[in-house]
Structure 1
Amino acid sequence: MDAFGDLLRGVRAQGSLFGSSTLTPPWALHFVDGAPLTLCTVLSGGGWIVPEHRPPEPLRVGETLIVRGPAPFLFVDEVGTRAEPVACGAFCSTPEQGGTRHRLGWYDPHDEADGGDGATTLVVGAYPVRGEISRRLLDALPVVLRVGSDGEPDPVWEHLAAEVATDTPGQQVVLDRLLDWMLVCALREYLDRPDSDPPGWYSAGRDPVVGGALRLLHGEPAAPWTVASLAERTGVSRSTLAKRFTDLVGEPPLTYLAHWRMTLAADLLTERETATVAEVARAVGYSDAFAFSAAFKRVRGVSPSAYRAAATAPATQAPLVRAGSPG
């Protein structure tokens, strides 16, 4: 498993909200459910994404914007349009269904009665992201990430359209996996751009030596790694591996491993609430629970038990979402 793929294991769509809104100007949608990642695209028309405290971003046919939460944002026909709450009606999802309040179902591009000329059809996927593994990926992303367009809707989104329009067994699983596919492709396209600033672990994944070392560390995080054993497995000297790894990733191999182990441990502490600290320690390569606790506190600033107690405390309910048109 490479570092990018490993981080994406913690970013999985499960019961994520999909929907579309066919809108005729003037209109505005206000997204305030605080989703960590929201994918937005349009199949017809266009508009503006207005993140909180950031410049507006145009969104045209076939383009996709990924907005990193939890700050709210607007989708409007023109910059300056005000969002006013309106009655939702029968074709809306509710906050109890996952967050964003907008029309469910899909438009038919061949049906002139569905939206009409000049209408904008917005497609939205609110993406749940949980855990410290996921946070490492989110920290590498800008608030708004744009994926280019050739002027036509992405075929994957058209497949989403067909799937959402039918009520079939396993529909949510299919939608979740399609969103996973779209997210991975969008992130790869962004991180591979010459003008992007990807984290060291992403760029280093292409290096034949450091990439191999990263795959070993992510594939076997609990193994008793040393610089010597990593160098032997990657076919270079210890000094070569240490220098090349540090130059490309930004920290020495064993420092990277220690931070990755603590990231894994943080998620294990919250996901396996019945596991003891000693069991979590063994799962990430520590035979001594005391040594693990000391290392965890050094990296995270709190003991494993204190981290678990804080992370599993009841969360405050997210606010509702408003969708509307100016009054």
Structure 2
Amino acid sequence: MDAFGDLFRGMRAHGSLFGSSTLSPPWALHFVDGAPLTLCTVLGGAGWIVPEHRPPEHLSAGETVIVRGPDPFTFVDEIGTRAEPIACGEHCATPEQGGTRHRLGWSDTCGGSGDGATTLIVGAYPVRGEISRRLLDALPVVLRVASGGGADPVMEHLAAEAAADTPGQQVVLDRLLDWLLVCAIREYFDRPGGRPPAWYAAQRDPVVGDALRLLHAEPAAPWKISSLADRTGVSRSTLAKRFADLVGEPPLTYLTRWRMTLAADLLAEREATTVAEIGRAVGYSDAFAFSAAFKRIRGVSPSEFRRTGTVAPEGPTVPTSPTGPTGPPLREEAVSG
């Protein structure tokens, strides 16, 4: 796996809660659960994403926005529309689930004529582990991807699957959300004027890109500059200079940081595995050398890191809606005219 793909290891939509609403103005959705990532796609109509302490972003049909939590945000038909929960029948979300006019799961409009309606698909995306946090750190609070790019075919599949009621629907929806998330972030990094992290841009270099792929494919290998240079077909000095220039640090420094990120997730996930075993899994035959490297990079010993548990815990689930799946919480306060 490459340096970009590796960061999605802990970001999988397993039974994530989806919301689909056809909203007649005036309407407002207030997202209050503080999910690490929330993906919103407008299939028809338009609206405004209004994050806290950030300028609003207009969202038109075919566009996608990814909002990085934990701060709440609002999606409204017009700037200034307020979210005031009202009752609208048995098919709407209960107040305890965060909404009224908006049914949890996939649904049609809950009343109203539909004139000027906006159709919105939402996925609250869980992020677990230190590996995925590296990706979060590279993202802005609001990431907007316009229509007409590589994510469009994914949205077409998503809309078609959302409208169906077929066996295995949840699995398909989960995988489509994974696909859309990767496409949207990749398009954001690749567009003119984008600000991708240094390691992402460096993947396009024929030498440094090969080196990064090797380090991610074989992180526990006994790498030295000489062996890495041999595998990439250049001299040690050429590799060292190009890697430092493009990535911002020497190859083995990058490798150590990546190993400690892998180790942090292993410490959190495998409680029965010893520190020495985890050290060997990321390339350290000596447990003391591993512990010293981990404390130097992470600021605490492996044992202390395991005790304090800094990896984000999994969130609770909410009840299944009449037509929707279960999964991490996606709560809104909603009003629709």
TM-score, normalised by the number of residues in structure 2: 0.88
Contact 2:13 2:178 in 1 (8 A): yes
1:310 equivalent in alignment to 2:308:
yes
1:201 equivalent in alignment to 2:199:
yes
Letter in 2 for 1:65: V
> What displacement does 1:216 show?
0.6
1:2 equivalent in alignment to 2:2:
yes
In the other structure, the counterpart of 1:135 is 133
> What displacement does 1:93 show?
5.7
1:324 equivalent in alignment to 2:322:
no
The within-5 A match list for 1:105-184 is 105-107=106-108, 116-150=114-148, 154-184=152-182
The within-5 A match list for 1:289-300 is 289-300=287-298
**Ranges in structure 2 where 5+ consecutive residues have no aligned partner:** 317-328
- Partners of 1:125 and 1:139 lie apart in 2 by 20
Contact 2:128 2:313 in 1 (8 A): no
> What displacement does 1:198 show?
0.8
- Partners of 2:41 and 2:70 lie apart in 1 by 19
The within-5 A match list for 1:137-286 is 137-150=135-148, 154-286=152-284
Q: Which moved more, 1:312-321 or 1:235-244?
A: 312-321
SS at match of 2:7: helix
Letter in 2 for 1:3: A
Contact 1:81 1:326 in 2 (8 A): no
Q: What value does the CA root-mean-square deviation take over the aligned residues?
A: 2.7
Contact 1:31 1:100 in 2 (8 A): no
- Partners of 1:92 and 1:249 lie apart in 2 by 50
In the other structure, the counterpart of 1:48 is 48
SS at match of 1:228: helix
CA deviation string 1:229-251 (max 9, x = no partner): 10011111111000000000000
Question: Identity, % of aligned pairs?
Answer: 77
> What displacement does 1:86 show?
3.0
1:18 equivalent in alignment to 2:18:
yes
Contact 1:21 1:122 in 2 (8 A): yes
Contact 2:38 2:124 in 1 (8 A): yes
Name the CA shift for 1:320/1:149 in 2 (closer, same or farther; >3 Å). Answer: closer
CA deviation string 1:15-39 (max 9, x = no partner): 1121211111111110011111111
- Partners of 1:325 and 1:188 lie apart in 2 by 34
TM-score, normalised by the number of residues in structure 1: 0.90
SS at match of 1:325: strand
